[in-house]
Structure 1
Amino acid sequence: MKSNKTKYKIDNPVALINGIMFFILVIVLFLVSFIGFGQNKPKKELTAADYHLWSFPTMEKLSEKGKWVSFSLHYENGKDSLFVTNNKGTKTYHFPGASKGGFCGDSWFFCKTQKGELKITNLLTSKEEIIPEVIQYNLRDNTKDLIILKKGTDGKKQLELRNMETSTSAVLSDVEIYSYNPKADAIVYTTKSGNKTAITLLRLRDKMTTLIASTAEPCNYSNIVWQENGSSIAFLKQALKDAEKTVRTSVSHYTITDARLAVFNPTGMKDFPEDTEICSSSFPNLSISKDGKRIFFKVQKTTSPVDTSEVQTWNTQDKALYPAKVQINDWKGIPKVLVWWPEEYRFNFITDNEFPKMMLSGDQKYAFLFNPLQNEPQANRDALLNVYIMDLATGKRKLLLQNQSNSGGSSISFYEEYVVYFKDRNWWVYDSKSGLHKNLTKELNVSFSDMESDWPEESSPFGNPGWIAQNKTLLFYDKYDIWGVPLDGSTPFRLTNGRSTKTTHRIVVQSEEQSPHKSNYNGNYKGLFQPDDRLLIKTVSLEHTGYCFWSRKAGVQPLLDKTMKTSQFIAATKNNSYAYVEENFNTPPRILFKENRNSKDKVLFQSNPQHFKYNWGTSKLITYTNSKGNILNGVLCYPANYHTDTKYPMVVYVYEKLSKELYNYVNPSQNNPTGFNISNFTSKGYFVLLPDIVYEIGNPGASATDCVVSATKKIIDTESIDSVRIILDAQTELFNAEKNCHYSKKNIRYY
């Protein structure tokens, strides 16, 4: 029987291939359309009931070789969380409610839980160890050792020295407090057993202990502070509450090398006032000079309370308004600063009622005194200062700076024997040894303060972040760049070249030593840099932000330059990797990692993933011209789910210059200190306009109104704005100017 099967002959292979390709194309198009249908799921409208979902991410630390990043998420309800993720994005640890996290190398992470536990996690094996009731802890520098103060099972405190690698530990009992100093590689701790209280030095290298002092009196040793190089300590001996009338607070200074203890006891000090006591609060400003020869602390005179029942007399010539005048009480009630020379067994008062405020020189051999009310009353926000210099050795003082501005603490700095100050639009230096003043910047032909400032007083300088001590080179900012100015008279130099691109460069602090905000009584010490430091620099222009490194050998090395907001940059200490955060108006903050500056960015964490389920607005930079012909900028934020054929209402928010807000991501929230939240408005179908405002000195209201009106008109002419539904959200200084607005009251609603 013959088969009925038909044989097909392939006469045209090209046609067959084309047919197969067509079939594959149809399948691909079907799959793409199906996937697209799934991805194009309609987004939701944001409501106030959704606001609690949002959090604020903060990058905490990067392990020494950049293998791990820790970060925290902060929620308005207080239910914060700490996370650790590896640089591959493949492993994440979650520590709900934890804080005070830190890395030990690239293998361990430790943090404190809400229950007061110390949790130690081996990041390689995921093994965890929990130590309960921990009060304080430190990681010993360059080791795997943890120093832990905790409560024992009997309720008494213990000091434990634990090695995370071997899990071995040593425990000291009855410890009350401790203070660790990495330069000395030592701990000073106090113990209380029975009626005996002691303070002891423990050298961590050899575990040898030395008793510093002990007493059977009803007292505590407290407020332990170290000399900067770890050579000596100072501490208070203060009476327990029930014994305050019989035992006076004293100050002790202990020198480690020769085991010498000196004590300042008010009862035995000649000429110490009977009605004055050493401050025993938590913040007595107890400190040791760098050379260890002088101890500084605060004392307070016993005063009678002010009688508030007296008739109030308000006098226009008073130095302060009546309520402040009563509180200040001629400075009688505030603590005064005293200096003590332990080796010479003498002391001297530094501040008094005439000059109650002070700052110390960099070498702590001089004090700079002032009275903030001396030149009151006056018309400016802050009165100019008359600053006096006191030689601590002799107690003599003389006028140093007259009518000196120090707005925000940015105009006066102290470096060893030098005083650096800003006056008449230039940086000056005073040498306390020679007594000479010198203008450092007059020949540079660069402005170091804001020439465009619209404040009716001398503009503040752009800043002095610190100095390079080894070669005595001061660092200054102009509008865009960083300058180095040597004190030896050699040629100043510019570290960066931001002026050509209008890009501002500013140093990012990478260590406590570099911080420009180290406390100096009523001022701050500026940053200390080393000649071979690799500086991290933040760069900001109108539409770009980023970072770069600078070093003496390599100059500027660009790292990032993005049309987004970049922040929270952290560099690894033992290789070239780094992590940072980026965001823009419609992209929530995310953490990125780079192995080096030439590698690709890798997203390690995206915050607020729920954002992408909601309709969201966008932002753009705008320009406008006011009636004076000034070309100004601003930010326009578009409503969520914007359609060009729809007219929208607009909120105009007014406060100085806000174009820097262009890339800021704003969490929706009902908890807003100013009552204003951009995302709340854009999600409800509003445009939001943030115009830059320039004020005319002597005519702020009219000039602000001119800017607001000019910017608003420009946007009405170019965007889908409903011109009869415009809301003005203005700060206080504009309220009196609103009646001058060129729009009629029926067209603008006011907040």
Structure 2
Amino acid sequence: MRPNNIKYNRKTGTFRKRVLVFYIVLASLLISFFGFAQKKHKKQLTAADYHLWSYLKAEKLCENAKWVSFSVSYENGNDTLFVKNSTGTRTFNFPRAGKGEFIGDNWFCAISPKGELLITDLLTSKQEIIAKVLRYDLRVGTKDIILLKKQSDGNKELELKNAATNKSTILNDIGNYWYNPEADAVVYTIKSNNNTIIALLNLSDKTTTVISSNPIVFEYSDIVWQKSGKSIAFLQQPLNDDKKTTRTCVGYYTIAEHKLYTFNPAQQDNFLANMEIISSSFAYLSISEDGKRIFFGLQKTVIPVDPSQVQTWNAQDKFLYPAKVQIDGWDRTAKVAVWWPEQNRFNCITDNEFPKMMLSGDQKQALLYNPQQYEPQANRDAPLDIYILNLETEDRKLVLQNQLGGETGTSVSIYEKHIVYFKDKHWWVYDLGSGLHKNLTKDLGVTFSDEESDWPEEASPFGNPGWMRHDKTLFVYDKYDIWSIAINGRGAVRLTKGRENKTVYRIVSQSKDESTKMNYDGSYKGQFGPSDRLLIKTEALEHTGYCFWDKKNGLKPLLDKKMNTSQFITSAKSEAYVYVEENFRLPPRLVIKESLNSKEKILFQSNPQHFKYNWGNSKLITYTNSNGTVLNGVLFYPANYHADKKYPLVVHVYEKQSKELYSYVNPSQNNPTGFNIANFTSKGYFVLLPDIVYEIGNPGFSAVDCVVSATRKVIVGESSIDSTRIGLTGHSYGGYQADYIITQTNMFKAAVAGAAITDYVSGYLRVAWGLQKPNFWHYEFGQLRIGKSLYEDYPAYLRNSPIYHADKVETPLLSWAGEQDSVVHYFQSIEFYLALRRLGKINTMLIYPGEDHVLMEEKHQQDLTGRIEQWFDYYLKGEKGLEWF
């Protein structure tokens, strides 16, 4: 539209000149005025404002997508759980509540910080409060709530409550309960008449069946359900006073037959007297899917290690002394046994010869291995020889030899009798029935391992997220795409087209069946049904998004944006979905789309105060190193940026960081490594995050080359950066890079290095105490990227160590470390400090007591954050220095 008082000349196609000039001048004045007013209206962010910022998490979407729950959390703990309708017109809030769950589309439950169960009718806004609730579950497919609560006398009661009718069934004197939706039943423990009872409550007809009853000197624990809900297993344990005379037993109960089986060690001829039944994270109680076998843990009674004894470190030991003593020939490691209840027969599966195991998909066989087999050796994980044990016949057979160690190499299918493993850059399958190995990917023409990795170790596979059981196919990843491959080797289909546009496609878990589950010392992979709709996330350099895929419709794009998208949640009974989106200038916000063809709607914008403050911006940059390799990085602009003003620059280093392009960063004083991008941009700094690629044997030079190249590129490309005021900072491997870079260039006026490796020679000859392994692997095969031992390439260890070039340092350095750092010993920082001290250089070192590799105590996080900013403010902005300098 044009103003009414401007006349238009149809013949000349122009406005009257004088009026036009007047309005142009007026418009420019107004634009200038309002632009100035807008900038002036914006606030300058200070540390006093940081507490206003929160973190957004999408929680749940109800069945028909009428309501969404999400939480907003603050560093001070003043968190809130919200429920909002899909139209955005009604909101409920539950301060500091958790474990929110929808019951259909009408009710919402949550636990308050006082232990109250809050049941809210979303249609009427009425709320019922039930006090002293310890835990609760929702009965699937109904409006029932199962809850355990404390009674006034200190005992506990189990209540089955209907949210619609408000009717309840209550059981008193309950110990605990375990719910299974497949069985539509609850197992619970109860004390009655000096007896401890374990019983089954059928939720459909409210009938109760006593499974087992024992004198009160016993307790029932570790109750587990068969996956189908047809049976349960549990431990029957004596209380402390009776453990010397009575042993722990295993109970197994079949629901249809109402039959209880008991495994009593005292009645088993082959049960060792010095073993006890246990359930632990790696030797847990479980039931096979067919209900025929029960697995449980065994632990040998061991004498505590005497710390006063002389330590004997033998170079030929399989493990270092601390690990050797802790394992004690595997005597101290829990074992796994199998019991056949119907025959009352049992065997040990693992022993000291083969202490580690995974179950096959049908749970009739076990994969056994000993991680000591190829020790001592230099890598973090030794190769494995894997044997298959037939649990019924006890026959054992070697099936994989010198297999890549760690979980990346071997995975066990949950489809019948197959082992899928990665070897020689390909995915293979071993058929336990036929004994044949088959290469599944040799003819596909793409690489399934990360050949572009610049670590010296053998390239790892991109991944095997799971299986489609009905179709007998598995999913594997290449660099970009998802493949579906028939287990019999007769075909493979590329489900996505990521290679064409350099977009990475990866499956996102939506349920427990799709996520990786523990399989004793390994893991099962995700299981997908033939009609399942897979959720897939897409990631490219400047785009993120999501897709659906199913067999019938193929790939269906949902969203693709130039921002960071995450926390995608789908609806159970509609096409609706919600997700969170953000970029550096936009705080995370919750978005809903009610159908695939509807418009997106913003349900909640976190941190609305953000828009009242001056803020920076982020930009992707491209540069080349001296080898001509094209690299990326992210340049963050200062808040309230003016092109005609000069600003200092802080360069943060750590391998590849361009993925941070769209990350929103809350300003905060609580930073585990003391560095915060938003803090610096709000204080008038540019911040650069360059990508670094490495040449094996020359990681230090590679860091210098890439970082200097990136810094020069932004100095030339952005005239507002003051090339005389550039700082450098990094932590861990980034700390190493910062220390090394300042030995090779005087480009940086000040530097900060946290938990840095400074001496490759002494670091190589240290123990990685967190792993109880020699540190060799980190240098020869891992992140430190030498690729050879100290004795094969001694010059490489010298030329890549900052400490041997400390005489060249002209940059004032602030270094810091945790005194209990189990990753990089703080002596590494002390060594560099002493070198700089001897040379008369400027260095201040901070050692934080009780802290590990990153700082966990808030007072230390705040102290470090403040000191780093003061360090750069002094050297890059000329502000007043402090006494601690």
Instruction: Assess same fold via TM > 0.5.
Output: yes
Give, in whole Å, the separation in 1 of the partners of 2:557 and 2:223.
Answer: 43
What's 1:457 paired with? 457
Contact 1:622 1:636 in 2 (8 A): yes
What's 1:4 paired with? none
What's 1:645 paired with? 644
Secondary structure of the 1:513 match is helix
What's 1:9 paired with? none
Contact 1:360 1:414 in 2 (8 A): no
Give, in whole Å, the separation in 1 of the partners of 2:34 and 2:727.
Answer: 42
Contact 2:283 2:335 in 1 (8 A): no
2:224 matches 1:225: yes
Quote the offset at 1:498 in angstroms. Answer: 1.1
Contact 2:221 2:235 in 1 (8 A): yes
Give, in whole Å, the separation in 1 of the partners of 2:365 and 2:222.
Answer: 24
Contact 1:407 1:460 in 2 (8 A): no
Report which stretch shifted further, 196-205 or 423-432. Answer: 196-205
Give, in whole Å, the separation in 2 of the partners of 1:302 and 1:174.
Answer: 34
Amino acid at match of 1:743: T
Amino acid at match of 1:459: A
What's 1:467 paired with? 467
What's 2:604 paired with? 605
Q: Deviations over 1:403-422 (max 9, x none)?
A: 22244546423232110001
Give, in whole Å, the separation in 1 of the partners of 2:505 and 2:736.
Answer: 37
CA RMSD of superposed structures (Å)? 2.4
Contact 1:249 1:280 in 2 (8 A): no
Report runs of 4+ in structure 1 exceeding 6 Å deviation.
28-38
Q: Deviations over 1:597-637 (max 9, x none)?
A: 22111110011111111111111111111111111111111
What's 2:323 paired with? 324
Residues 35 and 67 (structure 1), Cα distance of their counterparts in 2 relative to 1, 3 Å cut: farther
Contact 1:410 1:463 in 2 (8 A): no
What's 1:744 paired with? 746
Residues 129 and 497 (structure 1), Cα distance of their counterparts in 2 relative to 1, 3 Å cut: same
2:760 matches 1:726: no
Residues 694 and 283 (structure 1), Cα distance of their counterparts in 2 relative to 1, 3 Å cut: closer
Give, in whole Å, the separation in 1 of the partners of 2:37 and 2:746.
Answer: 49
Residues 745 and 308 (structure 1), Cα distance of their counterparts in 2 relative to 1, 3 Å cut: farther
What's 1:5 paired with? none
What's 1:490 paired with? 490
What's 1:266 paired with? 265
What's 1:479 paired with? 479
Report which stretch shifted further, 176-185 or 681-690. Answer: 681-690
Quote the offset at 1:377 in angstroms. Answer: 2.6
Amino acid at match of 2:492: P
Quote the offset at 1:114 in angstroms. Answer: 0.6
What's 1:507 paired with? 507
Amino acid at match of 1:598: N
Quote the offset at 1:318 in angstroms. Answer: 2.8
Q: After superposition, where does 1:119-518 map in structure 2 within 5 Å?
A: 119-279=118-278, 285-409=284-408, 411-415=410-414, 416-515=416-515, 517-518=516-517
Q: Deviations over 1:649-701 (max 9, x none)?
A: 22211111111111001111222222221111111222111111111122222
Contact 1:411 1:461 in 2 (8 A): no
Quote the offset at 1:207 in angstroms. Answer: 1.6
Q: After superposition, where does 1:71-86 map in structure 2 within 5 Å?
A: 71-86=70-85
Quote the offset at 1:426 in angstroms. Answer: 0.4
Give, in whole Å, the separation in 1 of the partners of 2:244 and 2:406.
Answer: 43
Amino acid at match of 2:588: P
Quote the offset at 1:322 in angstroms. Answer: 2.6
Give, in whole Å, the separation in 2 of the partners of 1:407 and 1:223.
Answer: 29
Report which stretch shifted further, 638-647 or 655-664. Answer: 638-647
Give, in whole Å, the separation in 2 of the partners of 1:31 and 1:124.
Answer: 49
Give, in whole Å, the separation in 2 of the partners of 1:155 and 1:282.
Answer: 31
Give, in whole Å, the separation in 2 of the partners of 1:513 and 1:619.
Answer: 39
Secondary structure of the 1:167 match is coil
Q: Deviations over 1:186-245 (max 9, x none)?
A: 111111023111111111122222111101251111111011111110001111222222
Amino acid at match of 2:105: D
Contact 2:728 2:748 in 1 (8 A): no
2:684 matches 1:685: yes
Amino acid at match of 1:69: V
Secondary structure of the 1:471 match is coil
Secondary structure of the 2:108 match is strand
Any unmatched runs of 5+ in structure 2? 1-6, 9-14, 754-885
What's 1:708 paired with? 707
Contact 2:336 2:349 in 1 (8 A): yes
Residues 36 and 87 (structure 1), Cα distance of their counterparts in 2 relative to 1, 3 Å cut: farther
What's 1:562 paired with? 561
Give, in whole Å, the separation in 2 of the partners of 1:276 and 1:393.
Answer: 22
Amino acid at match of 2:517: K
Q: After superposition, where does 1:33-112 map in structure 2 within 5 Å?
A: 41-112=40-111
Give, in whole Å, the separation in 2 of the partners of 1:655 and 1:320.
Answer: 32
Give, in whole Å, the separation in 2 of the partners of 1:183 and 1:445.
Answer: 44
Report which stretch shifted further, 167-176 or 307-316. Answer: 307-316
Report which stretch shifted further, 487-496 or 573-582. Answer: 487-496
Amino acid at match of 1:224: I
Contact 1:723 1:747 in 2 (8 A): no
Quote the offset at 1:31 in angstroms. Answer: 11
What's 1:673 paired with? 672
Give, in whole Å, the separation in 2 of the partners of 1:306 and 1:227.
Answer: 38
Secondary structure of the 1:662 match is helix
Contact 1:411 1:460 in 2 (8 A): no
What's 2:578 paired with? 579
Q: Deviations over 1:296-330 (max 9, x none)?
A: 11111111122221222333333333323322222
Give, in whole Å, the separation in 2 of the partners of 1:438 and 1:286.
Answer: 34
Give, in whole Å, the separation in 2 of the partners of 1:683 and 1:381.
Answer: 42
Give, in whole Å, the separation in 2 of the partners of 1:169 and 1:245.
Answer: 43
Report which stretch shifted further, 485-494 or 122-131. Answer: 485-494
> What TM-score does the superposition give when structure 2 sets the normalisation length?
0.79
Report which stretch shifted further, 555-564 or 709-718. Answer: 709-718
Amino acid at match of 1:442: K
Give, in whole Å, the separation in 2 of the partners of 1:284 and 1:113.
Answer: 35
Quote the offset at 1:165 in angstroms. Answer: 0.8
Contact 1:648 1:722 in 2 (8 A): yes
Residues 373 and 666 (structure 1), Cα distance of their counterparts in 2 relative to 1, 3 Å cut: farther
Any unmatched runs of 5+ in structure 1? 1-13
Residues 143 and 410 (structure 1), Cα distance of their counterparts in 2 relative to 1, 3 Å cut: farther
Give, in whole Å, the separation in 1 of the partners of 2:479 and 2:43.
Answer: 44
Report which stretch shifted further, 113-122 or 385-394. Answer: 385-394
Contact 2:408 2:461 in 1 (8 A): no
Amino acid at match of 1:143: T
Quote the offset at 1:736 in angstroms. Answer: 5.6
Give, in whole Å, the separation in 2 of the partners of 1:477 and 1:289.
Answer: 30
Residues 734 and 76 (structure 1), Cα distance of their counterparts in 2 relative to 1, 3 Å cut: closer
Report which stretch shifted further, 727-736 or 714-723. Answer: 727-736
Amino acid at match of 1:270: D
Quote the offset at 1:745 in angstroms. Answer: 7.1
Amino acid at match of 1:472: K
Amino acid at match of 1:285: Y
Aligned length: 731
Residues 34 and 124 (structure 1), Cα distance of their counterparts in 2 relative to 1, 3 Å cut: farther
Give, in whole Å, the separation in 2 of the partners of 1:697 and 1:739.
Answer: 16
Amino acid at match of 2:73: H
Report which stretch shifted further, 255-264 or 280-289. Answer: 280-289
Secondary structure of the 1:51 match is helix
